[in-house]
């Protein structure tokens, strides 16, 4: 009897079919949720996440995963008895704001089912998503969106910044299900997704129904939002096809005349007698003069019409080569489509039309197109206006960097307007190593994110303020002066850092250097890749569970085995056998027999 083909290989084949035939309709996808191996893959994708140990409305977490749990879930799905649990709603403070953001926390079982559904949806839809979409997709990030923008928006005349009011909270369930039905003809899978959409939430133990939006905190929310907004991508693509027109003439008449004079001057030099030095000298002087005129003459005729479009989740921006009146018309069409078809609303106040010589805001960067006639010499001595019409990405220093430092209590402003570093009193109770690590992570995070900016060098002052705020915090903690902190932690190599012990000996955590914080590598969003587009290999969790050996007592005759899960290995103290076992294995999981698992929790 042939061995059953792994589900991940089937999803890979589905993904290839979707890529090769973008109009293909998929049926009988629900059956893959009834296969055991997809649940091990889903668990592997989730258990290492920080939220795996966070409780929803009950005590269900990543701890206790077993073959028995898989059987229970698949049986409920098969019989149509699976019902998602309402999410637990809590609130967290918005970044750089006093407002609170609602946060939904599902149970781990719901996360597991959503992850398995996400893997199927991603195999179907990821190949058909457009290149302009960068949010919540494998191997894509804010940086890939910005790099694409920098390349595609060259020579743009206008920007249209798009803002959809409360996009994720206002996704219309009927419209979303209608979109899914075009590609997926599987009533049971669609019904399961509907159940998650309608699951509701508990706030102060009072149940609230959900009438719109994607599941709060849900694993499937990002891909459902991308499936929904893919319709907007297709609309803009059609708009682009109607709008785009090539230039009637590539160069302006003045530039063509100047170019002709330059070519004429070069030809005269080539035809000149090599021995006639005076004549040649005069011709070279003339060439420099006419070439200088050419480099100062506007080149592009700007008679073409063109739209370019980049979207990251619900944040999008268009560049338009055309008139302002045409931009107003494009904005009107976008607003009408989003309102009538997607049943959402485009914010008139925040959807701005900006001339490209001014700054538009996208993904935390200020975007503009340079009008720069500065001439640079390229290889071979050719002079070109290398910066003219190129996109410039800038850091909004006051709005982003200074505001971050004020909100975190890193700086205060003197009466003369200058910034001055100060200590962060709420960090004094932390250890020295935690203090410097916190500053380093904040510094590296901001420097890495803004590594594409033309004014990146201006973060040098930010790094200086962060370092001296860190020193002041340490000085306040130890009730001493900055100079004594530097002397205490200086290592003689020009830097300073906090020493700490490891198994391999003493080490030192240095304060991050500004020059080392820039990371030129592409970042990707913190989401799992498609099931497995790159082939299948049985994950060790499945092998360990199927081995039916307790990794604590060695029992091989237990009725069933479960996975014991902890939030962080570093939090374990090593007081008990199971803690020492996990520390030795450096794993967040331990396969235990039911008896040992019960003992661990009762300790």
**What confidence score (pLDDT) does residue 380 get?**
59
Counting beta carbons within 10 angstroms of the beta carbon of residue 201, is it exposed (0 to 12), middle (13 to 18) or buried (19 or more)?
Answer: buried
Q: How many degrees, rounded to 5, is the angle at CA 118 between CA 113 and CA 121?
A: 130
Tokens of 331: 């904005």
pLDDT digits (tens, 9 = 90+) for 426-436: 888 888 898 99
What residues does 366 pair with on adjacent strands? 361, 394
**The pair of three-digit structure tokens given for residue 120, joined into one six-digit string:** 């199927």
Q: How far apart are the first and last CA of the chain?
A: 47
Using CA atoms, how far apart are residues 508 and 487, in angstroms rounded to an integer? 15
Report if pTM > 0.85: no
Residue 415 CB neighbour total at 10 angstroms? 5
| 162 and 356 Cβ atoms separated by less than 8 Å | no
Residue 208: beta bridge partners? 201
Q: Which of 396, 358, 356 is nearest to 149 (CA)?
A: 356
Helix and strand element counts for the chain (H, E): 18, 22
Q: Mind listing the pLDDT tens digit for each residue in 279-320?
A: 888 888 888 887 777 777 666 756 678 999 999 988 999 999
3-state secondary structure of 563: strand
Segment 333-385, tens digit of pLDDT: 999 999 999 999 998 888 899 998 899 999 999 999 987 666 666 665 566 65
Q: Which residues contact 105 (CB under 8 A, 6 or more apart)?
A: 51, 54, 55, 56, 87, 88, 89, 90, 217
The CA–CA distances, whole Å, from 200 to 83, 85, 86, 180 equal 12, 8, 5, 21
State both tokens at 374.
Answer: 């500065």
- The helix (H) or strand (E) run that includes residue 158 is strand 158-163
pLDDT for res 261: 82
Residue 532 — pLDDT band, cuts 50, 70, 90? very low
User: 243 with 307: CB under 8 angstroms?
Assistant: yes
User: 468 pLDDT exceeds 90?
Assistant: yes
Mean of the pLDDT values across residues 237-266? 81
Quick one: pLDDT at residue 58?
A: 85
* CA-based max dimension of the chain: 103
> Please, are residues 79 and 69 in contact by the beta-carbon 8 Å criterion?
no
Ordered DSSP codes for 42-78: HHHHHTTSGGGG---SSS--STTEEHHHHHHHHHHHH
């Amino acid at each position: 009897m042939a061995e059953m083909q792994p589900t991940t290989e089937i999803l890979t084949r589905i993904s290839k079919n979707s890529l090769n035939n973008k109009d293909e309709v998929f049926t009988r996808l629900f059956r893959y949720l009834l296969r055991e191996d997809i649940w091990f893959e889903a668990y592997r994708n989730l258990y290492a996440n920080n939220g795996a140990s966070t409780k929803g409305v009950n005590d269900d977490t990543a701890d206790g995963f077993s073959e028995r749990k898989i059987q229970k879930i698949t049986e409920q799905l098969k019989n149509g008895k699976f019902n998602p649990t309402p999410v637990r709603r809590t609130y967290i403070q918005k970044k750089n704001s006093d407002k609170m953001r609602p946060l939904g926390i599902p149970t781990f079982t719901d996360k597991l089912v959503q992850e398995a559904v996400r893997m199927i949806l991603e195999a179907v839809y990821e190949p058909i998503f457009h290149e302009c979409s960068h949010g919540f997709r494998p191997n894509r990030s804010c940086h890939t969106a910005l790099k694409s923008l920098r390349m595609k928006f060259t020579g743009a005349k206008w920007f249209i910044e798009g803002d959809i009011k409360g996009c994720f909270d206002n996704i219309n369930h009927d419209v979303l299900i209608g979109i899914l039905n075009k590609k997926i003809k599987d009533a049971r899978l669609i019904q399961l997704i509907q159940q998650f959409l309608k699951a509701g939430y508990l706030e102060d133990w009072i149940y609230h129904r959900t009438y719109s939006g994607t599941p709060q905190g849900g694993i499937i929310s990002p891909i459902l939002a991308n499936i929904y907004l893919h319709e907007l991508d297709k609309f803009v693509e059609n708009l682009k096809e109607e709008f785009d027109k090539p230039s009637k003439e590539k160069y302006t008449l003045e530039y063509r005349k100047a170019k002709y004079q330059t070519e004429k001057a070069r030809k005269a030099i080539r035809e000149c007698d090599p021995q006639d030095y005076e004549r040649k000298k005069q011709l070279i002087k003339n060439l420099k003069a006419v070439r200088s005129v050419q480099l100062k003459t506007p080149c592009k005729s700007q008679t073409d019409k063109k739209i370019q479009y980049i979207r990251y989740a619900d944040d999008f921006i268009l560049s338009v080569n055309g008139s302002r009146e045409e931009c107003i018309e494009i904005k009107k069409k976008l607003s009408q489509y989003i309102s009538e078809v997607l049943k959402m609303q485009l914010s008139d106040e925040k959807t701005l039309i900006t001339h490209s010589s001014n700054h538009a805001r996208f993904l935390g960067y200020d975007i503009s197109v340079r009008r720069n006639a500065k001439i640079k010499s390229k290889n071979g001595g050719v002079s070109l206006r290398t910066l003219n019409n190129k996109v410039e990405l800038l850091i909004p220093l006051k709005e982003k960097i200074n505001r971050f430092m004020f909100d975190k209590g890193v700086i205060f402003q003197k009466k003369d307007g200058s910034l001055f570093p100060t200590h962060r009193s709420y960090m004094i109770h932390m250890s020295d190593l935690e203090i410097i690590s916190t500053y380093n992570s904040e510094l590296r995070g901001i420097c890495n994110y803004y590594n594409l900016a033309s004014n990146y060098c201006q973060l040098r002052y930010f790094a200086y303020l962060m370092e001296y705020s860190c020193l002041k915090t340490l000085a306040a903690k130890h009730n001493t002066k900055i100079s004594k902190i530097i002397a205490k932690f200086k290592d003689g190599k020009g830097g300073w850092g906090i020493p700490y012990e490891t198994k391999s000996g003493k080490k030192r955590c240095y304060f991050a250097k500004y020059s080392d914080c820039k990371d030129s590598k592409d970042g990707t969003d913190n989401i799992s890749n498609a099931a497995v587009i790159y082939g299948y290999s049985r994950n060790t969790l499945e092998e360990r569970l199927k081995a039916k050996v307790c990794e604590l007592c060695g029992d091989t005759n237990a009725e069933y085995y479960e996975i014991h899960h902890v939030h962080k290995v570093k939090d374990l103290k090593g007081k008990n056998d199971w803690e020492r076992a996990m520390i030795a294995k450096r794993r967040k999981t331990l396969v235990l027999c039911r008896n040992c698992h019960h003992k661990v929790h009762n300790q």
